[in-house]
C-alpha cells in the first residue's frame, strides 16, 4: 500500500499511560513504513468516538483492568460504540493486559471491544497468534483459540517484547491492507 493519501485513525483509552505509549509506538512504526505521517492518534477521554467515522482505516487500543474490566475511558464511552457508522471500514485492535497477575481475564476487554465492533459491519484485520503468552483464559481469542482478535501486549511482564511485536504487527497490517485493495 504505497498510497499515503489515506489516513489511519488510532483511538485509545489509557489510565496508566501504557496504552498511550503503545499507540505512539504503533504510530511511529507506521510512519516509518510509509516514510510519512499517516496515523493520527486520539485519546477517547478527549475526543468523541464519532470522530472515528472520518477514517477508512481505524485502530482501537484498549486495556483490561483487574478481573476482566474495561479501562475507564472505554467504559464511559461504551454505549457510543453501537452508534458508530463503521460499515465497510477496516479496523485493527490492540490490547494491553497482565497475563500473570490476571491470567483468567487476560485481554478480556480486547475481546469485548471486538465483539461490539464486529456487529457494525467493519472488516477486522490484525489477528495475532497467541504463542508466547502464559494465561489460562481470555475473551480476546478467536473462536478456534489460536489467535487474539488483535495485537496482545503485556508491558507488565513482557515489556521487552513490545517493540518487536508492534513492528511485526504493523507490517502484518500493511500486508492485510494491501491484500484488501487488490
Question: What kind of fold does domain 8-181 have according to CATH?
Answer: Rossmann fold (3.40.50)
Partners of 64 in the beta sheet? 70
DSSP run (H or E) holding 168: helix 159-181
Please name which of 102, 71, 104, 97 lies closest in space to residue 156, comparing C-alpha atoms.
Answer: 97
Q: What is the pLDDT of residues 50-88, one digit of tens each?
A: 999 999 999 999 999 999 999 999 999 999 999 999 999
- The answer to whether residues 101 and 67 touch, using CB atoms and an 8 Å cutoff, is no
CA nearest 8: which of 45, 59, 49? Answer: 59
pLDDT of 6 reads 73
| Strand residues in 16-173 grouped as ranges (E) | 39-43, 57-65, 69-70, 90-96, 123-125, 128-129, 147-148, 151-153
The three cell numbers of residue 12 are 485509545
CA 75, 173, 22, 132 torsion: positive or negative? Answer: positive
* End-to-end Cα spacing for the chain: 10
pLDDT at position 1, please? 45
**What pLDDT band is residue 182 in, cutting at 50, 70 and 90?**
low
Tell me the DSSP string of 126-158. Answer: --EE-TT---S--TTB-TTSSEESSEEE-TTT-
Rounded distance between C-alpha atoms, residue 25 and residue 104, angstroms? 27
Q: Is the pTM of this model over 0.85?
A: yes
Q: Is 78 exposed, middle or buried (0-12, 13-18, 19+ CB in 10 A)?
A: middle
Q: How high is the mean pLDDT of the chain?
A: 94
Amino acid at each position: 500500500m504505497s498510497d499515503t493519501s489515506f489516513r489511519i485513525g488510532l483511538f485509545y483509552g489509557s489510565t496508566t499511560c501504557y496504552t498511550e505509549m503503545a499507540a505512539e509506538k504503533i504510530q511511529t512504526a507506521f510512519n516509518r513504513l510509509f516514510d510519512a505521517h499517516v496515523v493520527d492518534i486520539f485519546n477517547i477521554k478527549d475526543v468523541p468516538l464519532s470522530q472515528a467515522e472520518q477514517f477508512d482505516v481505524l485502530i482501537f487500543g484498549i486495556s483490561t483492568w483487574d478481573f476482566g474490566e474495561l479501562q475507564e475511558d472505554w467504559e464511559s464511552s461504551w454505549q457510543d460504540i453501537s452508534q458508530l457508522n463503521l460499515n465497510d471500514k477496516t479496523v485493527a485492535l490492540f490490547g494491553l493486559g497482565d497475563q500473570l497477575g490476571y491470567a483468567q481475564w487476560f485481554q478480556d476487554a480486547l475481546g469485548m471491544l471486538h465483539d461490539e465492533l464486529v456487529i457494525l459491519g467493519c472488516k477486522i484485520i490484525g489477528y495475532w497468534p497467541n504463542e508466547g503468552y502464559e494465561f489460562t483464559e481470555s475473551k480476546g481469542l478467536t473462536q478456534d483459540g489460536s489467535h487474539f482478535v488483535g495485537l496482545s501486549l503485556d508491558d507488565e511482564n513482557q515489556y521487552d517484547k513490545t517493540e518487536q511485536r508492534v513492528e511485526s504487527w504493523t507490517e502484518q497490517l500493511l500486508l492485510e491492507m494491501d491484500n484488501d485493495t487488490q
